[in-house]
Chain A
Amino acid sequence: MMVELGHFALVLALLLSVAQASLPLYGAARRHLGLMEVGRGAALASFVLVALAFAVLINAYVTSDFSVANVVENSHTDKPLLYKITGVWGNHEGSMVLWVFILTLFGAAVAWFGDNLPPELRARVLAVQGMIGTGFLLFILFTSNPFLRVLPAPANGQGLNPVLQDPGLAFHPPFLYLGYVGFSVAFSFAVAALIEGRVDAAWARWVRPWTLAAWCALTIGIAMGSWWAYYTLGWGGWWFWDPVENASLMPWLAGTALLHTAIVVEKRDTLKSWTILLAIVTFSLSLVGTFLVRSGVLTSVHAFAVDPTRGTFILLLLLVAIGGPLTLYAVRAPALKGGGLFAPLSREGALVLNNLLLACAVATVFLGTLYPLFLDAVGGPKVSVGYPFFNRTFVPLMVPLLLAVAVGPLMAWKRGDLLGALQRMWAAFAVVLVVVVGGLYATKGGPVLAVLGFGLAAWVAMGALTEWAERVRLFRAPPGETLRRVVNLPRSAYGMTIAHLGVAVAVAGFAASAFETESIQTMRAGDTIPIAGFSLEFTGVEPVQGANFNADRGSFLLRRDGALVAELHPERRFFPLHQQTTAKTAIHTNFLADFYLALGDPDGKGGWAVRAYWKPLVPWIWIGAVMMALGGLMSLSDRRWRVGAAARARRAPPVAAPAE
């Protein structure tokens, strides 16, 4: 009964979405306020309905209702409660419900917080959101219904893939979807602007916080995914250029470009049609990513079950959702009037360079990801494009971008002074020189490129700090004035500084991977191996019983100069239900380096395969990503975005007087 209620709520949400997609649009064209306002109610109501359906599905998982096919296929009574819940989005149907849930959440947020938007714009934005919702609800109901029953109900389910039973992965999809789907708001704003034929500074000011929020979530989502891959797959890698990883990287790169170009629209009223295009492309890349993962046209470890009907449906959806706006763009964009002119060497120019390089990076990743598909479609051989291609194409694009990141913020709007900016970066030059020369001396014939990578990281960090120092007039003004400036600097300025510092930290983490050491060998209890100045002693393996797995738990003592540094317990877990073995790695970190240990297979003669790695600075990759997201959130909390907040507070109903 409950399950049918969820099913019914989805159908009702679909009908409301159809209303949301059509009536406000007509109302906006006719300037009929009542019809325009339908959008807000419909957006809020469909959010409530989809939330209900989602809650029903979660309930079916928690109570192990095996009359629901989706629960049977992805859950099991022995599974810990956390993974019963996260199993909801560990499969195609459930994750689509989460997708639509987040979509309607954003739609409801626009309706709720959109008081300061002109009614026409708000109505059109909500209508476009409604169209996306309609498409995806149709998709769920017709091809991927999670509420289908199986009768008679099996006694137990098949359980979730053991690899997915991990706290790190549990919250990776929700963040990723918050990012992907969050870009739908920028997309809807872009389409609404094209319909209206008007883009101005106010438009950019409304779009930026939504884009920023989505970008922060996507940054966290990607970082979580890569961190998960790092500590569960047992080989110490954190990025594999897998098609699905690339599918998340492309919207991130495009979203990064969009964040920066929206600043130009807001401040300088120019680059409008490019910004509109980027907003459309960013969300389109999210949609294409969804298509690639779910249609089975590409091979990937992440891919969901293959179903040609689903693929066809999503392709049709893509044709409408991407082809439509791009056609509208071709018709309407030429009429958008450009604003202020600027010299190539200026803040705008630097942001154009940023966009150009990021767009090339997107194109590169896109080509690398889809090349096997293109080749296969014309009857070529099956190939896969991996590390070598991306390292040779993507990295060279990032180098000039990072060089420019440091200088760009120091340039003035309209006409900048590159030479002057570089002169003001004397401290950065000095630090980079010390890092590179010192690094080359210290590593003596080591990897030169990695040392240059450290230099690049130092350059970016110093650029961000120089810009901050200039703003607060560090050492130029009296300390009192500097302090006052430190306090009064807008949060968006701090946001930029923190995010750019995060980039520097992450780049240092990437570069340091050249210095890692590994030792893979068979060890017996009592053996000791030396690695990177440590000694690692293997004291034995004991069996451990988990909730739904049996494990071999290894015990290792890590020593440096005879002193105990850490006790490590990597496990090799066997899930009988799936006949599958996973690695539970043991990582000792001091945030400057990780000691990474994975227990492999026994050789049957008392020996165990042991993989030990010493990875300097690897935690910085994720620390950097978190800093980028924090910078974004900091900027998001700037009061500038809350223009109209005061008006909303005034209209709030008065607090009821306490009873006597």
Chain B
Amino acid sequence: MRRALFLLPVALFLVLAAYFGLALTSGRDPHELPSAMIDKPAPAFTLAGLDGTPGLARASLGGQVAIVNFFASWCIPCRIEHPLLMRLSETLSVPVYGIAYKDRPEDAQQFLAQLGDPYGRVGLDESGRVGIDFGVYGVPETYVIDKAGRIRLRHVGPLTAEAVSNELAPLVKMLGRS
């Protein structure tokens, strides 16, 4: 009986560790505020493009599944996820659109010239106004828009290979079929 008492601390700790493990592996992110925009139509916007290229507008979305990525030249995680976006734009049969968030046109231009341009179209959101309408918390953020122009997925932070293969790619395929 007395020995059992001495086992109590380690037993309690193991229960606690199990909870920690559960919380870690559940994949739920306590920081991720459930997006109010999920399944709602994407907000209306019209953005100028880079250096004479056509810009990006709400009208460009819809009709087909699309991926919208908020990025900025000053954002290091954006550099990290950039190769993944390059690969996405080649492997997925849907357009990837970029929105340069609070960025100067020449910086965004140079960023894409340096690292490659995965985007079908780029819109310049210098004021961050469109970001607010989407509910962007910080860059990078990635959205999947379905054929009806509704937001179906919001990914906060840099895309990871895991997130792409487990969430984004299956969803895009599923939406493409329906």
B-contacting residues of A (Cβ < 8 Å)? Answer: 69, 72-73, 150, 152, 154, 158, 273, 277, 280-281, 284, 291, 295-299, 303, 306, 308, 311-312, 315, 318-319, 322-323, 326-327, 329-330, 333-334, 370, 372-374, 376-377, 382, 579
B31–A296 CB distance below 8 A: yes
A276 vs B26: C-alpha distance when bound (angstroms) = 35
The answer to whether B9 touches A373, judged by C-beta atoms less than 8 angstroms apart, is no
Segment of B13-21, B83-91, B167-175 engaged in the interface with chain A: B13-21
Known: A306-B31, A330-B6. 19 other contacts (CB 8 A): A152-B114, A158-B75, A281-B9, A296-B29, A299-B31, A306-B157, A308-B24, A312-B24, A315-B24, A318-B20, A319-B17, A322-B13, A322-B17, A323-B13, A333-B6, A334-B2, A373-B19, A373-B20, A374-B19
Residues of A within 8 A of B75 (CB): 158
Q: What chain A residues lie within 8 Å of B128 (beta carbons)?
A: 579
From known contacts A72-B76, A158-B74, A273-B6, infer whether A297 and B24 are also in contact, taking CB-CB under 8 Å: yes
Task: Tell me whether B24 and A318 are in contact (CB under 8 A).
Answer: no
Decide: A330 and B76 in contact? CB cutoff 8 A: no
Can you list 9 A-B contacts with CB-CB less than 8 angstroms, sorted by A residue number?
A152-B114, A158-B74, A296-B30, A299-B30, A315-B20, A315-B24, A322-B17, A373-B23, A579-B102
Show the binding face of B for A, using Cβ within 8 Å. 2-3, 6-7, 9-10, 13-14, 16-17, 19-24, 26, 28-31, 74-76, 79, 102, 114, 128, 157
Complex Cα spacing A150 to B79, Å: 10
A355 to chain B, nearest CB (A): 15
Cα–Cα, bound, A72→B76 (Å)? 8
A318 touches B23 (CB 8 A): no
The B interface, classified by DSSP as helix, strand, loop or mixed, is: helix
Contact at A73–B24, with CB atoms within 8 Å? no
Question: Nearest residue in B to A333 (C-beta to C-beta)?
Answer: B6
Smallest Cβ distance from A613 to chain B, in angstroms?
31
What residues of chain B lie closer than 8 Å to A69, measured between beta carbons?
76
Is B10 a contact partner of A330 (Cβ separation < 8 A)? Answer: yes
Q: Are B29 and A306 closer than 8 Å at their CB atoms?
A: yes
> Contact: A376 with B13, CB < 8 Å?
no
Given contacts A308-B24, A334-B3, contact A327 B10 (CB under 8 A): yes
In whole angstroms, what is the CA distance A284 to B10 when docked? Answer: 12
**Complex-state Cα separation, A334 to B4, whole angstroms:** 10
**With known contacts A150-B79, A158-B74, A296-B29, A323–B17 Cβ distance under 8 A:** yes
Among candidates B6, B28, B76, residue contacting A329 with C-beta atoms closer than 8 Å? B6
B162 (CB) vs chain A CBs: closest residue: A308
Task: Find B17's partner among A308, A315, A329, A333 (CB 8 Å cutoff).
Answer: A315
Q: How far is the CA of A158 from the CA of B20 in the complex (A)?
A: 32
CB distance from A299 to the nearest CB of B (A): 4
Contact of B23 with A376 in the complex, beta carbons under 8 Å: yes
Residues of B within 8 A of A374 (CB): 19
Question: What are the 9 A-B residue pairs with the smallest beta carbon separation, nearest first?
Answer: A326-B10, A377-B22, A297-B23, A299-B30, A330-B7, A311-B24, A330-B6, A326-B9, A377-B23
Please name all residues of chain B whose beta carbon is closer than 8 Å to the beta carbon of A295 when the two chains form the complex: 20, 24
A315 touching B21, Cβ below 8 Å: yes
CA distance in complex: A370, B76 (Å):
32
Q: Name the distance in Å between A368's Cβ and chain B's nearest Cβ.
A: 15
Q: Is the CB of A334 within 8 A of B26?
A: no
- The answer to whether A73 touches B6 (Cβ under 8 A) is no
With A150-B79, A281-B9, A330-B10 given, is the CB distance from A291 to B20 under 8 Å?
Answer: yes
Q: How far is the CB of A89 from chain B (nearest CB, A)?
A: 19
Q: Which residue of A lies closest to B14 (CB)?
A: A323
Chain B residues with CB under 8 A of A306: 29, 31, 157
**How near does chain A come to B39, taking the closest CB pair, in angstroms?**
20
Chain B: minimal CB distance from A435 (Å):
42
User: When the two chains form the complex, which single residue of B2, B9, B14 contacts A277, counting CB atoms closer than 8 Å?
Assistant: B9
- Docked Cα-Cα span, A15 to B114, in Å, equals 40
Inter-subunit contact B76/A73 (CB<8 Å) = yes
Chain A residues with Cβ under 8 A from B14's Cβ? 323
Which residues of B sit under 8 angstroms from A291, Cβ to Cβ?
Answer: 20
User: In the bound complex, do residue A330 and residue B24 qualify as a contact, i.e. CB atoms below 8 Å apart?
Assistant: no
Bound Cα distance A327, B9 (Å): 8
Q: Which residues of B contact A322 (CB under 8 A)?
A: 13, 17
Once the chains are docked, how many angstroms separate the CA of A327 from the CA of B8? 10
Pick the residue among A297, A323, A377, A382 that contacts B10 (CB under 8 A): A323
For the complex, what is the distance from the CA of A291 to the CA of B7, rounded to whole Å? Answer: 24
Chain B positions within 8 Å of A277 at CB level: 9
Chain B min CB distance to A453 (Å): 34
Question: B20 — which chain A residues lie within 8 A by C-beta?
Answer: 291, 295, 297, 315, 318, 373
CB contacts (< 8 Å) of A330 on chain B: these are: 3, 6-7, 9-10
Report Cα–Cα, A311/B75, bound state, in Å. Answer: 24
Residue on B nearest A373 in the bound complex, by CB: B23
Give CA–CA (A72, B80) in the complex, Å. Answer: 13
Known: A158-B76, A295-B24, A297-B23. A376 touches B17 (CB 8 A): no
Chain B neighbourhood of A327, CB < 8 A: 10
Which residues of A sit under 8 angstroms from B26, Cβ to Cβ? 376-377
Q: Considering only CB atoms, which chain B residue lies closest to A310 in the complex?
A: B24
| Shortest CB distance A311–B (Å) | 5
Most A CB atoms within 10 A — which of B6, B21, B22, B128? B6
A315 vs B18: C-alpha distance in the bound complex, in angstroms?
10
B27 to chain A: closest residue by CB: A308
With a cutoff of 8 Å between Cβ atoms, the chain B residues found around residue A311 in the complex are 24
| Chain A residues, CB < 8 A from B79 | 150
Please give, as numbers and ranges, the residues of chain B lying within 8 Å of A273 by CB-CB distance: 6
- A291 and B20 CA atoms in complex are apart in Å by 9
Question: Which residues on A sit within 8 Å (CB–CB) of B19?
Answer: 370, 373-374, 377
Give Cα A297 to B76, complex, Å. Answer: 24
* Cα distance, A306 to B9, chains bound together (Å): 29
A299 contacts which chain B residues (CB < 8 A)?
30-31
CB-based contact A329/B9 at 8 Å? yes
Q: Write out the residue numbers on chain A whose beta carbons fall within 8 Å of the beta carbon of B22.
A: 377
Q: Is the CB of B74 within 8 A of A329?
A: no
Q: How far is the CB of B129 from chain A (nearest CB, A)?
A: 13
Chain A's closest residue to B34 (CB) is: A382
Assembly CA distance A318 to B9 (angstroms): 14
Chain B residues within an 8 Å CB radius of A370: 16, 19
Contact A326 B76 (CB under 8 A): no
Smallest distance from the beta carbon of A312 to chain B beta carbons, Å? 6
Q: Write out the residue numbers on chain B whose beta carbons fall within 8 Å of the beta carbon of A72.
A: 76
Bound CA span A306–B19, Å: 18
CB-CB under 8 A from A319, the residues of chain B are: 17
> Is A334 a contact of B6 with CB atoms below 8 Å?
yes
B102 surroundings in chain A (CB, below 8 A): 579
Q: B17, B26, B30, B31 — which one has the most chain A CB atoms within 10 A of its CB?
A: B30
Cα of A326 to Cα of B2 in the assembled complex, Å: 16
Nearest to A377 among chain B residues (CB) is B22
* Residues on the A chain within 8 Å of B157, using CB: 306
Closest CB in chain B relative to A641 CB, distance in Å:
29
Please give me the residue from chain B that is nearest to A318 by CB atom.
B17
Given A315-B17, A323-B10, A330-B9, residue A376 in contact with residue B30 (CB < 8 A): yes
Set of chain B residues within 8 Å of A372, measured between Cβ atoms: 30
Query: Which residue of the partner chain B has the closest CB to A295?
Result: B24
- Alpha-carbon gap, A318 to B157, bound state (A): 27
Kindly list chain B residues whose C-beta atoms are within 8 Å of the C-beta of A318. Answer: 17, 20
- Cβ distance A329 to chain B, nearest Cβ, rounded Å: 6
